[in-house]
């Protein structure tokens, strides 16, 4: 692999992983704000409106930084990945265009009403603005995931005479069997992340003895919603997404599990270190037959190992393997912690168990790390393909861009993103220190 390809991949990886830190929260927080506004509309209690206003400010901050950090990615399609854009522009131009026209404008337009229209429009219209902001956020996730799912499993296309691909059926693309479980898994993870953030900040207020009513509401909603979505992140969304990987990308499955030898009754590796020189998993702790059952519903089913595929078709095995196990490990921790929170809630001691409030506070970064690790598995595990089975990554870069030029821009992006990240953290801290507006007069 040339230095140019490596530099281009590093640049895109850096920009997309930084950018994704912000949509994680906006896509997940939007429906929770709808829940709070619905409770306020039905019950008329100011505490729900105060909580909704607070989380809307957090949403707006993440939305703004997400928009700014996402702009460089679009330019990279033309600057660093021109051959990919020329090859697949007839497909990805459709879905990315739909994302911009339908979801971004919907979300940004009604976010203005959400931020500035509470006293200027009727309560029901204001509630609808909350719903439409959430719809825009989820539509954005759909079109972006549809683009990625097509790169994972291309459907609904035809090859043109010039060697490029053109859209043959938008219905086929949106009905891609790889799309819907991947989309539900992504959005499920976003809601789980938002619920953990909500519970963590609520725990902070309870530990600090400030804004107690808001803290109790945030912890209760975060733990309750989080426990449900932690379980559905595992099953059915995670399980069915893995079935798609098993069906359409079996070499990725082998890399995720560090499975080198084809096995009947293949085990799942709880821990272990994959060695691509020895072609085996070092010092593993295994659950016998479990992978065969999870992949094919049969404890003795055959699961093909990496050795059945040419090494040129392998992804980066260690990175795929470790990222997958980080994702699963942190997901398991979140399930255990949030179910414990539900149990404490049932016992009536959730808000007074200071040790558990500290646990919630410590959990804050876990869903972010798990989400980023999941995307590493998805993208690195697809290699060496940029469009699976159609276009290799090395064939997608711009032929006139040198590695040194890309390294220069990476350094520029790094400096810009450090400043942007510091500003975002500073503003988030200011919002948290200010706290919710618990009195209607203060809110305006």
At 439 the pLDDT is 61
Which of 412, 413, 386, 404 is CA-nearest to residue 81? 386
How many residues make up the chain in this entry? 444
Output the 3-class SS for the chain: CCHHHHHHHHHHHHHHHHHHHHHHHHHHHHHHHHHHHHHHHHHCCHHHHHHHHHHHHHHHHHHHHHHHHHHHHHHHHHHCCHHHHHHHHHHHHHHHHHHHHHHHHHHHHHHHHHHHCCCCCCHHHHHHHHHHHHHHHHHHHHHHHHHHHHHHCCCCEEECCCCCEEECCHHHHHCCCCHHHHHHHHHHHHHHHHHHHHHHHHHHHHHHCCCHHHHHHHHHHHHHHHHHHHHHHHHHHHHHHHHHHHHHCHHHHHHHHCCCCCEECCCEEEEEEEECCCCEEEEEEEECCHHHHHHHCCCCCEECCHHHCCHHHCCCHHHHHHHHHHHHHHHHHHHHHHHHHHHHHHHCCCCCCHHHHHHHHHCCCHHHHHHHHHHHHHHHCCCCEEECCCEEHHHCCCCCCCHHHHHHHHHHHHHHHHHHHHHHHHHHHHHHHHCCCCCHHHHC
The predicted model gives 43-48 an average pLDDT of: 95
Parse the chain into domains and list their residue ranges. 1-182+382-444
At 18 the pLDDT is 95
Indicate whether 433 pLDDT > 80: yes
d(CA 362, CA 251): 35
At 104 the pLDDT is 84
Indicate whether 443 pLDDT > 60: no
Percent of the chain with pLDDT over 70: 98
At 438 the pLDDT is 67
Angle (nearest 5°) at CA 134 between 372 and 431: 70
For 269-320, what is each residue's pLDDT tens digit?
A: 999 999 999 999 999 999 999 999 999 999 999 999 999 999 999 999 999 9
Q: What is the DSSP string of 113-153?
A: HHHH-TTTS-HHHHHHHHHHHHHHHHHHHHHHHHHHHHHHS
The predicted model gives 163-177 an average pLDDT of: 94
User: pTM of the predicted model, to two decimals?
Assistant: 0.96
Taking the C-alpha atoms of 202, 206, 207 and 209 in order, what is their torsion angle to the nearest 10 degrees?
Answer: 140
Place 233 in a pLDDT band, splitting at 50, 70 and 90. very high
Token pair of 63 as six digits: 């939305």
For 61-74, what is each residue's pLDDT tens digit?
A: 999 999 999 888 88
At 440 the pLDDT is 55
Which neighbouring-strand residues pair with 165? 159
- Indicate the SS3 state at residue 277: coil
Percent of the chain with pLDDT over 90: 92
């Amino acid at each position: 692999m040339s230095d140019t390809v490596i530099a281009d991949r590093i640049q895109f990886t850096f920009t997309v992983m930084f950018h994704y830190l912000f949509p994680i929260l906006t896509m997940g927080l939007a429906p929770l704000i709808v829940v709070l506004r619905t409770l306020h509309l039905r019950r008329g209690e100011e505490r729900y409106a105060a909580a909704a206003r607070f989380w809307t400010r957090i949403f707006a901050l993440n939305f703004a930084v997400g928009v700014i950090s996402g702009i460089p990615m679009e330019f990279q399609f033309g600057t660093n990945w021109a051959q990919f854009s020329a090859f697949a522009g007839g497909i990805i131009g459709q879905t990315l265009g739909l994302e911009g026209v339908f979801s971004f404008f919907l979300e940004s337009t009604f976010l203005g009403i959400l931020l500035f229209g509470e006293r200027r429009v009727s309560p029901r219209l204001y509630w609808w603005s909350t719903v439409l902001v959430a719809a825009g956020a989820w539509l954005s996730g759909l079109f972006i995931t549809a683009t990625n799912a097509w790169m994972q499993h291309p459907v609904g296309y035809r090859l043109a005479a010039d060697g490029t691909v053109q859209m043959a059926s938008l219905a086929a693309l949106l009905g891609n069997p790889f799309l819907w479980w991947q989309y539900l898994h992504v959005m499920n993870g976003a809601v789980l992340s938002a619920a953990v953030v909500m519970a963590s900040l609520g725990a902070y207020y309870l530990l600090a003895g400030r804004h107690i009513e808001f803290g109790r509401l945030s912890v209760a909603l975060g733990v309750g919603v989080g426990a449900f979505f932690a379980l559905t992140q595992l099953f059915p969304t995670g399980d069915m997404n893995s079935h798609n990987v098993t069906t359409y990308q079996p070499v990725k499955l082998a890399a995720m599990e560090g499975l080198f030898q084809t096995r009947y009754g293949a085990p799942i590796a709880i821990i272990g270190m994959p060695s691509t020189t020895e072609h085996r998993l070092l010092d593993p702790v295994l659950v016998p037959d479990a992978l065969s059952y999870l992949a094919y519903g049969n404890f003795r089913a055959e699961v093909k190992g990496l050795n059945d595929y040419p090494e040129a078709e392998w992804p980066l095995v260690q990175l795929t393997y470790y990222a997958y196990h980080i994702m699963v490990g942190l997901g398991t921790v979140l399930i255990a912690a949030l179910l414990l929170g539900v149990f404490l809630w049932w016992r009536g001691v959730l808000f007074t168990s200071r040790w558990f409030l500290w646990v919630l506070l410590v959990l804050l970064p876990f869903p972010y790390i798990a989400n980023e690790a999941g995307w590493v598995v998805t993208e690195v595990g697809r290699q060496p393909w940029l469009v699976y089975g159609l276009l290799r990554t090395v064939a997608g870069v711009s032929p006139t861009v040198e590695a040194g030029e890309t390294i220069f821009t990476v350094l520029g992006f790094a400096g810009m993103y450090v400043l942007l990240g510091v500003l975002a953290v500073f503003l988030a801290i200011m919002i948290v220190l200010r706290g919710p507006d618990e009195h209607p007069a203060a809110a305006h």
